[in-house]
Amino acid sequence: MRLQVAASACIVVMLAGCSHGTSGRAHPDIAGFLRLPVATPTACAGKQAGTTVGRKSPWVGTVDVSVFISPKAPAAVVRQLGDQLRSLPPVETVYFESAAQAVAEFARLYTCSADVPASTLPASYRLVLKTITRPARDDLVTQIRRLDGVDSVSCDPSSPCLPASP
């Protein structure tokens, strides 16, 4: 359980790259990253925590907001969520990462990845925003959190999202 919680926290931190606006940013090379070998060891004895192998997620520095999808969301809701995100005026680009891709990415970033249940690594939409102020970004994040199919939303750790309202 401790590894699972730590892994979930690492996912949010490592995958939630952010800056405001797209000038000068490269597109994420997900396919290239997934061609890398998995981090070893893939399984660890006892309660040994997984560690990063010094790689950086392809999302870091390329997206502003990560929208993690509820694992229980039906495919139609996931598609509708993508359409809604694409239609938001501050959103410039939307990338989709399947749960299988999230698992594959995690396996390349962390040792002991086989010890983390795949169900803790959800599908997500990754958003690149047009130039936007932080208060406007936080308002957008609040709006996104209310959409059907959203499990959680994350922003760059250097400019974290405001906590969800109770």
- Strands ordered across the beta sheet of 150-155: 91-97, 124-129, 65-69, 150-155
Low-confidence stretches of the chain (pLDDT beneath 50)? 1-23, 166
Nearest by Cα to 67 from 163, 141, 166, 158:
141
Give me the pLDDT at residue 164, please: 60
pTM for the full predicted model: 0.77
Give me the pLDDT at residue 13, please: 36
- Angle formed by the axes of helices 99-109 and 2-15, to 10°? 100
Q: Domains, the chain, ranges and CATH?
A: 2-155 (3.30.70.3040)
Cross-strand bridge partners of residue 155? 65
Nearest by Cα to 55 from 110, 9, 12, 93:
110
